[in-house]
Amino acid sequence: MDAGVPAHRGDPLAEQRAMARSAAVVDRSHRGVILVSGEDRLSWLHLLVTQHVAELPADTGTEALILDANGRVLHHMVMAHVAEAVALVTEAGDVPELLDYLRKMVFWSKVELRDATAELAVLDVVGPETAGVLGEAGLPVPERPLAATGLSGGGFVLRMPWPGPDAAEIVVPRAEAQSWFIRLSDAGARPAGTIAFEALRVEAGQPRVHLDTDERTIPHEVGWIGSAVHLSKGCYRGQETVARVANLGRPPRMRVLLLLDAGDEELPVPGDPVLRDGRVIGRVGTVVQHHELGPIASALVKRNTPAEADLVAGEGDRAAPARIDPDSMPADPGEPPPGRAAQLRGGLR
């Protein structure tokens, strides 16, 4: 999924350390960009995506999903409302399918859609010194996470809450991407590759569609409720499943961070099974070498899996003993969800 951009710049672990302790810049120009303009852009998008965007202020970003009719995740996007248009930044391979779906849903709405991937490229600065790097490079510094500022030559800067302690997504004209990369490097950001970015993303618990999700994944399982799904809105495909799980039950699986005891051996790959006592209880997602934790993996496992369980991630030569990082376990709400609580008060089983 990250073909076409550098995986590293010579030392992936040092690049991770720079992201964690200072700042690094990553070429993510393989990302896809769709632009939505027109006076109905917000009200129209509000009917299609999982996030509440009907009144998304100018110079503001968010995250959102597109679900199927059963509430399963199809697409994830970072959104930015800048210069009277909404940019949807997503996986490049998803752009044709996503754009086709959006166009089919236009009907009489006053919106215009276009694939802007050939026009715009994505760079990311990650690390606690992100703000200083942006300022030194002559870029605006949005004051808070998910605040955005447009650029005079096209594109924008969007302050991000992940994958590191601070970050910014910088969308620039594609013809200028390399010059901006150099400029950001000269401003103090260490050049880095996607391996380092992905390692911090996994550590931060931020899922990535198609790697950390499968054809059955619902948003509750991977932690997208809140950041990408607004529970107080309806009117989008798959909303019934989202509301039912939120109000009546628990999702069947949970996303956790696995610590792998793999040494220098071959690591599992996305889609490999996670086993407990020889039985499959989940699937492996993104697998990375972390600069402090060693080999780690995002995984979807059955919700009743205890943190202390002895697990195996992968199969064949890729099988590795694994244990769950307890800090990655979803918090126990302590009480049943609202709908289930009402049932219990009424004596229903």
d(C-alpha 200, C-alpha 255), whole Å: 16
Strand partners, 73: 67
pTM: 0.94
Q: What is the CA radius of gyration of the chain?
A: 21
The one-letter amino acid code at 113 reads: L
What's the mean per-residue pLDDT of the chain?
Answer: 94
- Token pair recorded at residue 162: 């992940």
d(C-alpha 285, C-alpha 238), whole Å: 23
Block residue for tokens 């076409």: 4
What SS3 class is residue 230? coil
CA 13 vs CA 8, 199, 206, 345: distances in Å: 9, 9, 19, 54
Cβ neighbours around 244 below 10 Å, total: 13
pLDDT tens figures, 7-22? 999 999 999 999 999 9
pLDDT tens figures, 115-169? 999 999 999 999 999 999 999 999 999 999 999 999 998 999 999 999 998 999 9
Q: What share of the chain is helix, strand, coil (3-state, %, to 5)?
A: 25, 30, 45
What number of residues does the chain have? 349
What SS3 class is residue 284? strand
What SS3 class is residue 96? helix
Higher pLDDT, 264 or 280: 280
